Amino acid sequence: MFRRRQVWLPTPWGVLVLTAAAAGLVAWLLRAANGFLALDEPAVLPDGRPAPVLVIEGWLGEDELAQAAVIFRRGGYRRAITSGGPIESFATFPSFAERAADFLRRHGLAGLPLDAVPAPKTAQDRTFASAVWVRDWAADRGVAMEAFDVVSSSVHARRTRLLYRMAFGPETRIGVLSTSPASYDEQRWWTSSPAFKDLFGEILGLAWTKCCFWPGRPGSHEERWAVPAPGAPAHRAQAPP
């Protein structure tokens, strides 16, 4: 009923070495996490040309929107689209998409093809809802979206690309470009409390999106789990003009 076994246990020096190695690995992973999430991977067309359309998330701060304007000019894009849902507090513009489009026109993109595509208030992931409305807006107006890039904020970039890919499907080539936050240094994010919260929030958000977010087939009620605009059909909020 009993058997004698030999169990190997580390010596005090062994415990110290293993603890130091584990701490070093954790520190390396944390330093690398920002670069993993704050992705810069532009899309290209099948013939190798860069994507012609740039989608800009409208909720970005003004400093980041200014960076997006620079990205547009340097990238040789032919069209810009701003996305985003309603601004619920009292504001000049009803949606983040329209607010961003106004800012970009006043900061270097006036006279260029620039469209605001507001999304409705939604119970789904707001980035995903914005992607769905951009997809349907482009389909309704015949705007080619074979390949495009999305500008997102720092560590939100990787999850943004994932959600846009979920909305558009595998046939569309989607790249992403990240802006740098104005409130902290990305290379030393661990010295900032807001950066710490942003990074770990995005790690959890990315994990949840990969394992638990199943929006339903394109055009379904499950995909469009949104609050319709006043007067819109119950199954679909009105597309922006």
Can you give the chain as a three-state secondary structure string?
CCCCCCCCCCCHHHHHHHHHHHHHHHHHHHHHHHHHHCCCECCECCCCCECCEEEEECCCCHHHHHHHHHHHHHHCCCEEEEEECECCCCCCCCEHHHHHHHHHHHHHHCCCCEEEEECCCECCCHHHHHHHHHHHHHHHHCCCCCEEEEEEEHHHHHHHHHHHHHHHCCCCEEEEEEECCCCCCHHHHHHCHHHHHHHHHHHHHHHHHHHHCCCCCCCCCCCCCECCCCCCCCCCCCCCC
Could you tell me which residue, 31 or 148, shows the higher pLDDT? 148
Separation CA 135–CA 127 (nearest Å) = 12
Predicted TM-score of the model (pTM) = 0.81
Q: What separation in angstroms does the CA of 170 have from each of 8, 56, 85, 115, 176?
A: 50, 20, 25, 24, 15
SS (H, E, C) 35-73: HHHCCCECCECCCCCECCEEEEECCCCHHHHHHHHHHHH
Asked if pLDDT for residue 128 goes beyond 80, the answer is: yes
Rounded to 10 degrees, what is the CA torsion of 43, 45, 62, 103?
Answer: -170
Averaged confidence pLDDT in the chain = 84
* Closest by Cα among 121, 109, 92, 123 to 56: 109
Mean pLDDT of 106-111: 90
Asked if pLDDT for residue 154 goes beyond 70, the answer is: yes
Count of beta carbons in the 10 Å neighbourhood of residue 99 = 23
* pLDDT tens by residue, 160-181: 999 999 999 999 999 999 999 8
* pLDDT tens by residue, 27-38: 666 666 777 888
Asked if pLDDT for residue 1 goes beyond 80, the answer is: no
- pLDDT for 230 equals 47
- pLDDT for 121 equals 84
- pLDDT for 29 equals 61
Separation CA 101–CA 116 (nearest Å) = 6
Mean pLDDT of 193-220: 84
